[in-house]
Chains A and B, each alone.
Chain A
């Protein structure tokens, strides 16, 4: 529970940060808000010799409109900033709401959106929202800049596509379609401060009762946050009656590989995903809860 000695580098530019990370090799880590990293260091799960801060790189916390009608959100924008920005609330209310559900006010004020994603925690709140919104991750590393669709960003249990000495610089978040219905459900059956057992992000666009677009993603269930592709397919182009919704819920339950741990058994997670896909989609179909 005590921090070990480490070197601290305050970067002025992303290139500086990348250089400092390269120089530090395996023992270097990026730090922004530190809300995930510092507890891991206190428990000696990680013992970086060098911390490379990107928290003060000019522009890296900006939240800006994109010409497509979407958003570009800097990697070190805090959850608080994202959830409170008028721009995000207008263009991507699902993301703003998901960021408002992260942990506690203290963590939201310190922790950053990029840090949240790079940690690779399955029960991340913004991750399912960004998956449902089909965001794009912008990374900058020794080889320059590259983009990764967020659907390819989460690669395993606390694993991401982030490569050595890479920094998450920003996210491109497409605009939500006009009239989209959405919900982020953070289900914490044990305690309010718990992480999500089911963190379900949903966005539907309806023509009358027919579903034109369905976007569903979930965190907390499997090893990584994932898009519920089969459930989406089960809904798109269909009338949202009870049977269709139940088929989508079964599809969701069938396409995940749930974790099995103290928070919940695999079978419970699977069944609860079925329950919540059904309830959330039915609610959206009826025009409730967004």
Chain B
């Protein structure tokens, strides 16, 4: 294949024309006539028996259409399915509405459909719910105690699943190691917090007897599959449409209780039912993420060769197993980019009375990177080695790839040490160490920290997913269709939530069809009229989508060449498609426009004998392997050793995501991910009160999402190692920026305060947490 003309070009985003003009259409911009508005009554307790619901007064309120309670929902629907169940995991029966017992503050208990949201909210206040508060558990440690309140009869001991990865001889290596270090790390509960909250409009289409659901989702087809199952309908009778989505970050995957509630009310009332999540509901209803407690040990020989890793960790699942639930990648990627053959990784997924956990950009990989890289620094300090030298010694070399890590993931390609060196040279590492000594003598505490990662992107085949129990595939799909004007229309089930897919898909299709990206129209996010699709998550869309586009465009291009050959009376093998024309490779003056070829295809003549009319192809592509991106973050901080306050002075990320389809979009993705990485590392935490079980900071006033004023200028650089295992060498890139932030900054702070011997072991890293650690270190003397 010739070099693709638009591959690697920073084409301006097709999406931005409408978005920047204010013409984007988000869920709340969709207006259905005669719509009812939904308000949801939520359990105010972390755990409560629902003894009785009396909605009589609400039903008398003018403007109220109907009220739905949990008993009806449970009778009429199936529990929410788990998209990636773990083998051997105990089911948590999760319905669209609580019936009998509610298990987290915010769980839907009753719903009202009324003429507007005001009336609906007023009606909620007229509904009497008789709660009997039950004992609750808020921490994983409490949930595991003997005699702890049990959340589900189906889950004895509150442990949904327990699993162990073992490789090599970890016990022997631990015994042999000259040096071991261990640490217990607490990872904060956070949320992706998109600007657009969730939302849904359900409509029963009387004419076709189908359910139509507009949803702010990153997976229209998976949402349809789950919703149809829950409603005991066939997928053909359910249509899901995602308009523009204002951010998703993993939490808009799959079905939510509100989708089911809105659908039931639309079916009952035969009127459209609209629900827009407010921010208070968001913090109590949309998936939370990341919370975990790790007890990690690593060991090395006297020279600093990393020998062994052992982790025992607990994931705080919340009250139910949602569609995605806890990350698998924590265990899979715990070994990171190092030469490590011996490990034991033991995890337990534990129930608590909190919002169910879901995916968040970096899903599992931010967690494992944090605990490993912080402990690697401690190990280096213990060995008296520079943390950069320790990493240089242990990073896998290019000639060692492909490499199967202790959890079975096969790293495909890359030059990990080169990424580290590039980042270190950017900060001027050697000079920095000299300056650091001088600063310390002036009483200034400046530190540099680093964190290296290797990143799992995309899924390694549908068969692999199937073997691990997943209820979705690894593929993506497109339908490509030429029109009479010689333009292409590309239909994809992937919705648009900021990732730039409309542009990158158009670049791929245009390159393969001999068109300009402006001549490729994108239809997206509507389950009707797009082929079955998995959706945009797991940094997989570009990898799988490019393969599908390559196949579909190849079929169309071949047919265009046959038709053009017929028109020009030239062997199609001598032709190529480029710049809107089909022409002879060796004599470009012999040519016919793609427009004329397309017209022939749709007129039905002139066509070669036996050629069917039309220029359309649908293709599915199932990637054979995952691709592994990688990178290094180097952060520089200056810490006030009295107050604990610190300034993040520099933040350098050197990464490699393989072939870049659109470097401008890659940079945007990385910038956004870095901001979220730093947000979770330094600012954000959803805090529950252990006594009351209430979410303490469920508003934007005290959730501390950072603004631009809180973030440094990011210094980004990249390497480009095409993956040998994916179409065009593409690796995923949407999540990588989140992964290494917490460890790099933690390590930088500890480096700055090395004279005090400060260790940090929880997120977020705040001024007060550093002040405490300093006090602890001083007390130890």
Query: Are the chains A and B members of one assembly?
Result: yes
- Residues of chain B within 8 A of A43, CB atoms compared: 280, 699
- Residues of chain A within 8 A of B121, CB atoms compared: 2, 4
Cross-interface CB contact of B704 among A4, A5, A191, A264, cutoff 8 Å? A191
Q: Within 8 Å of chain A (Cβ to Cβ): is B312?
A: no
- Interface stretch among A217-225, A228-236, A265-273? A265-273
Cross-interface CB contact of A262 among B696, B767, B771, cutoff 8 Å? B696
Q: Within 8 Å of chain A (Cβ to Cβ): is B766?
A: yes
- Residues of chain A within 8 A of B696, CB atoms compared: 262
Q: How far is the CA of A238 from the CA of B278 in the complex (A)?
A: 56
Q: How extensive is the interface on chain B, given as a class?
A: 20 to 34
- Residues of chain B within 8 A of A262, CB atoms compared: 687, 696-697, 702
- Residues of chain A within 8 A of B643, CB atoms compared: 189, 272, 275
Cross-interface CB contact of A190 among B117, B279, B709, B767, cutoff 8 Å? B767
Q: Within 8 Å of chain B (Cβ to Cβ): is A192?
A: yes
CB distance A263 to B645 under 8 Å?
no
Q: Within 8 Å of chain B (Cβ to Cβ): is A194?
A: yes
CB distance B768 to A275 under 8 Å?
no
Query: With contacts A1-B280, A194-B704, A262-B697 known, is A189 near B767, CB below 8 A?
Result: yes
Q: How far is the CB of B175 from chain A (nearest CB, A)?
A: 42
Hey, what's the 0/1 contact readout for B766-779 against A, CB within 8 Å counting as 1? 11100110000000
Q: How far is the CA of A1 from the CA of B118 in the complex (A)?
A: 10
- Residues of chain B within 8 A of A271, CB atoms compared: 771
Query: With contacts A43-B699, A262-B696 known, is A192 near B709, CB below 8 A?
Result: yes
Hey, what's the 0/1 contact readout for B251-279 against A, CB within 8 Å counting as 1? 00000000000000000000000000011
Hey, what's the 0/1 contact readout for B98-136 against A, CB within 8 Å counting as 1? 000000000000000000011001100000000000000
CB distance A275 to B709 under 8 Å?
no
Cross-interface CB contact of A193 among B118, B278, B709, cutoff 8 Å? B709
- Closest chain A residue to B768, Cβ basis: A268
Please indicate which of the listed interface residues A189, A263, A275 has the most CB atoms of chain B within 10 Å of its own CB: A189
Q: Within 8 Å of chain A (Cβ to Cβ): is B710?
A: yes
CB distance A192 to B697 under 8 Å?
no
CB distance B645 to A189 under 8 Å?
yes
CB distance B280 to A191 under 8 Å?
no
CB distance B768 to A189 under 8 Å?
yes
Q: Within 8 Å of chain A (Cβ to Cβ): is B313?
A: no
Query: With contacts A191-B704, A191-B707, A264-B768 known, is A2 near B278, CB below 8 A?
Result: yes
Q: Within 8 Å of chain A (Cβ to Cβ): is B706?
A: yes
Q: How far is the CA of A2 from the CA of B118 in the complex (A)?
A: 7
CB distance B706 to A191 under 8 Å?
yes
Q: Within 8 Å of chain A (Cβ to Cβ): is B185?
A: no
Q: Within 8 Å of chain A (Cβ to Cβ): is B683?
A: yes
Q: How far is the CB of B41 from chain A (nearest CB, A)?
A: 13
CB distance B117 to A191 under 8 Å?
no
Q: How far is the CB of B278 from chain A (nearest CB, A)?
A: 4
Other than the given A4-B121, A190-B683, 18 more pairs (CB < 8 A) read: A2-B118, A2-B121, A2-B278, A5-B118, A39-B701, A43-B280, A189-B767, A189-B768, A192-B707, A192-B709, A192-B710, A193-B709, A194-B704, A262-B687, A262-B702, A268-B771, A275-B642, A275-B643
Query: With contacts A2-B117, A263-B702, A268-B771 known, is A191 near B642, CB below 8 A?
Result: no
Write 30 A-B pairs (CB below 8 A) sorted by A numbering: A1-B278, A1-B279, A1-B280, A1-B281, A2-B117, A2-B118, A2-B121, A2-B278, A4-B121, A4-B122, A43-B280, A189-B644, A189-B645, A191-B683, A191-B706, A191-B707, A191-B710, A192-B707, A192-B709, A193-B707, A193-B709, A194-B704, A262-B696, A262-B697, A262-B702, A263-B702, A265-B768, A268-B771, A268-B772, A275-B642
Interface residues in A, total, Cβ within 8 A: 20
Q: How far is the CA of A101 from the CA of B683 in the complex (A)?
A: 21
Give residues 226-255 of A contacting B (CB, 8 Å): none
CB distance B707 to A190 under 8 Å?
no
Give residues 1-24 of A contacting B (CB, 8 Å): 1-2, 4-5
Q: How far is the CB of A7 from chain B (nearest CB, A)?
A: 16
Q: How far is the CA of A1 from the CA of B280 in the complex (A)?
A: 7
- Residues of chain B within 8 A of A192, CB atoms compared: 707, 709-710
Q: How far is the CA of A4 from the CA of B39 in the complex (A)?
A: 14
Q: How far is the CA of A275 from the CA of B645 in the complex (A)?
A: 12
Q: How far is the CB of A112 from chain B (nearest CB, A)?
A: 20
- Closest chain B residue to A274, Cβ basis: B642
On A, residues with C-beta under 8 Å from B are 1-2, 4-5, 39, 43, 189-194, 262-265, 268, 271-272, 275
Q: How far is the CA of A275 from the CA of B641 in the complex (A)?
A: 11
- Residues of chain B within 8 A of A263, CB atoms compared: 702
Q: How far is the CA of A64 from the CA of B498 in the complex (A)?
A: 51
- Residues of chain A within 8 A of B644, CB atoms compared: 189
Q: How far is the CA of A193 from the CA of B121 in the complex (A)?
A: 31
- Residues of chain B within 8 A of A2, CB atoms compared: 117-118, 121, 278
Q: How far is the CA of A192 from the CA of B699 in the complex (A)?
A: 17
- Closest chain A residue to B698, Cβ basis: A43
- Residues of chain A within 8 A of B118, CB atoms compared: 2, 5
Q: How far is the CB of A189 from chain B (nearest CB, A)?
A: 4
5 closest cross-chain pairs (CB), A and B: A1-B278, A189-B767, A192-B709, A268-B768, A189-B645
Give residues 691-722 of B contacting A (CB, 8 Å): 696-697, 699, 701-702, 704, 706-707, 709-710
Q: How far is the CA of A4 from the CA of B88 in the complex (A)?
A: 49
Q: How far is the CA of A167 from the CA of B46 in the complex (A)?
A: 41
Q: How far is the CA of A2 from the CA of B683 in the complex (A)?
A: 27
- Residues of chain B within 8 A of A1, CB atoms compared: 278-281
- Residues of chain A within 8 A of B122, CB atoms compared: 4
Q: How far is the CA of A64 from the CA of B625 in the complex (A)?
A: 74
- Residues of chain A within 8 A of B701, CB atoms compared: 39
Q: How far is the CB of A170 from chain B (nearest CB, A)?
A: 30
CB distance B280 to A190 under 8 Å?
no
- Residues of chain A within 8 A of B766, CB atoms compared: 189-190
Q: How far is the CB of B157 from chain A (nearest CB, A)?
A: 31
Q: How far is the CB of B699 from chain A (nearest CB, A)?
A: 7
Please indicate which of the listed interface residues A191, A194, A268 has the most CB atoms of chain B within 10 Å of its own CB: A191
Please indicate which of the listed interface residues B280, B683, B771 has the most CB atoms of chain A within 10 Å of its own CB: B771
Q: How far is the CA of A39 from the CA of B683 in the complex (A)?
A: 22
Q: How far is the CB of A1 from chain B (nearest CB, A)?
A: 4
Q: How far is the CB of A194 from chain B (nearest CB, A)?
A: 7
Q: How far is the CB of B647 from chain A (nearest CB, A)?
A: 11
- Closest chain A residue to B645, Cβ basis: A189
Q: How far is the CA of A261 from the CA of B121 in the complex (A)?
A: 31
- Residues of chain A within 8 A of B768, CB atoms compared: 189, 264-265, 268
- Closest chain B residue to A263, Cβ basis: B702
- Residues of chain B within 8 A of A39, CB atoms compared: 701
- Residues of chain A within 8 A of B278, CB atoms compared: 1-2
- Residues of chain B within 8 A of A265, CB atoms compared: 768
- Closest chain B residue to A276, Cβ basis: B643
- Residues of chain A within 8 A of B645, CB atoms compared: 189
- Residues of chain A within 8 A of B281, CB atoms compared: 1
Q: How far is the CA of A252 from the CA of B766 in the complex (A)?
A: 24
Q: How far is the CB of A260 from chain B (nearest CB, A)?
A: 12
- Residues of chain A within 8 A of B699, CB atoms compared: 43
Q: How far is the CA of A5 from the CA of B278 in the complex (A)?
A: 18
- Closest chain A residue to B277, Cβ basis: A1
- Closest chain A residue to B117, Cβ basis: A2
Give residues 749-773 of B contacting A (CB, 8 Å): 766-768, 771-772
Q: How far is the CB of A237 from chain B (nearest CB, A)?
A: 28
- Closest chain A residue to B702, Cβ basis: A262
- Residues of chain A within 8 A of B772, CB atoms compared: 268
Q: How far is the CB of A265 from chain B (nearest CB, A)?
A: 7
Q: How far is the CA of A39 from the CA of B645 in the complex (A)?
A: 30
Q: How far is the CB of B741 from chain A (nearest CB, A)?
A: 16
Please indicate which of the listed interface residues B117, B683, B696, B710 has the most CB atoms of chain A within 10 Å of its own CB: B710
Q: How far is the CA of A272 from the CA of B709 in the complex (A)?
A: 23
Q: How far is the CA of A39 from the CA of B642 in the complex (A)?
A: 36
Hey, what's the 0/1 contact readout for B273-303 against A, CB within 8 Å counting as 1? 0000011110000000000000000000000
Q: How far is the CA of A265 from the CA of B699 in the complex (A)?
A: 20
Q: How far is the CA of A5 from the CA of B117 in the complex (A)?
A: 12
